[in-house]
Chain A
Amino acid sequence: MSGFRSREDKIFTTVGHIVMIILSVLAIAPFILLVSGSFTENDAAIRYGYQFWPKVFSLEAYEYIAVQWQQIGRAYLMTIFVTVIGTVLALLIVSLLAYGLSKRDVPGMKILTLLIVFTMLFNGGVVASYMVYTNIFHIKDTIWALIFPNLLMNAFSVILVKNYMQSSIPGELMEAAEIDGAGQFSVLFKIVLPLSKPILATIGLLAAVAYWNDWTNGLYYITDSNLYTIQLLLNEMNNNIQFLTSSAASLASGISTSDIPSASIRMAIAVVAILPIIVAYPFFQKYFAKGITMGAVKG
């Protein structure tokens, strides 16, 4: 039965290919327009608009980025710093918490799990959160504002890791180690975490992308342009393309407003911002797909 494919099967397969090709082109095309725009000479971009192939090829936008690297590179480093620190911290405290919660016989862990699940159902709202962070913790214009609020941990990933530890790691293994005299910390770090690699990879990857892409924390908490990440720089340029030249660094290097290749530089900085994700993505794609399907199991 299985080798046999009817005419009908073939029609469905063909239609499937056609639809998927159309959708793939639609998904990719905007990125081509973006990249092409970044390599277009500024005057050509203004006269003919952005096109899928540069009408007049030019590297001036990237040369400009190189000149302005002091500012753009700083934002880039800030993004990398926040992403690395945030992801490592997130993985660490999520693993610790999830392992603790997986010990159902320890008094208090069941109620703690319920309290953490409750945060998925109810929250104080953006304003209350903003007031707590700015008035009690004075997080405004500090690097913690980019790491702490909302991104560090969420109930969903904690529960996911906890369930994984409960279902996929044999209890006898942990018990044997405990009988051999291993403390809870060495059980966690030497036995449980190495066996939890698949789930940690998925959670870590989702956290890293969330940090790399975040601009809302910056929008609420950051006004100091020294703390801008690359996403915040893009956001600021949306409001004000002159932003790049208004900084002290560019005034010192003698660049005036009229010199900015404003049409192509927009696109070039966006290209620089997405480049790491585009490059790394094909290698990590299967973990993303896995993350989505895990989400499908529990909401």
Chain B
Amino acid sequence: MKLTFLIACCVLFLGFPVAGFAQDTPEEAQPADSITTPIPAPPGNVTAWDTENDHGHSVSLSWEPSPDDGTGLGNVIGYIVFRSDSPDGPFVDRGVQPAGASGHTDVGSKEEASQDYMADYVDYYYKVRAITADSLVFAESVMVGPVQSYGQWFNTGRIPVLVFVLCFMAITIFFIQKAKSGANLFVRRLAGIEAVDEAIGRATEMGKPILYVLGLGTAADIATIASYTILGRVAKKIAEYQTGLIVPCYDPITMTVAQETVKTAYMDAGRPDAYNEDMVYFVTQSQFAYVAAVNGTMLRERPATNIYMGKFYAESLILAETGALAGSIQIAGTDEIAQIPFFVVACDYTLIGEELYAASAYLGREPLLLGSLKAQDYAKAAVIILAILGVIAMNVGLDGFKDLFYISN
């Protein structure tokens, strides 16, 4: 009895490491005497190729699922992909796919220092193992390779974007040329922008300043760049009317650019002497500390008009509601979808989405800017037509229509 127990213990202690080793090395023979689950058929037709449209360091694989995956024996629960840089191994685990899967992308690191580094232009060999609930029972495919990874110089998956950008550039340049030649371009009405003059006039009559908030965006955000243009136009009118201007900034780079913009506007208005650098000042880069500072300014200075243009987040409603409580006329514009309803509710006028980008052209009435605005309108019309065509195509079974616009990452 004691001898039997001793032998059983020896088998257990020696058996575990062997089983563990067998899990990590595909070359390891399966211990036939321990098999209780039937061995499934291996995945077939394994192919490996360099992943397309990437920066390299990646290989894609595809295979035909094992006949025992879902059908047949039905005991395949997934697949493990193994890779080696030599046909003789050793092979290392590069990822697991669930049952039913027929592909895997092996993505390595591009950092040489990383353990996961995968060199480009190096031969690699792959095997795919169909696994069962019993870790000792599996079936491996035939080894495939060699295959090399490398980066591409053109992302063919982004051709629709390229076509769109080129078409849009052509339309924009066409309308700019048309505007330059003196053609009278009709521009749609923007109530929010038409109210700017009225708001500046009100501030002048009341002898109170105008508060201009550029939002929480950085100088690299397009919404902030659009806001600079509006700030320039507004500051020019303010300089002409000799009204006060307050521009508290969230970002120091934004502040520097805004100072230049306002200074230029005052010079254009012929009133460089009225410009004071402290009109545009830095507050803080902490979101709610910034809100507290701007709210404090609203309640102390009681500006006649608050203009919010740029990128806004959770602070939008806190700012706009405080401004409404302070009795200011409020004009807002943002491209942040989630914040638009807040501005619509709390402000007198709101520029919705792309109207923020159209505002600068509308305010300036310069032919070059109006040309680009017309291009924007025509592009929108084209998008609407394509959307209608898409609906029709999908309803009549022309599924290929949507593939024309497929963009890969």
Tell whether A pairs with B. Answer: no
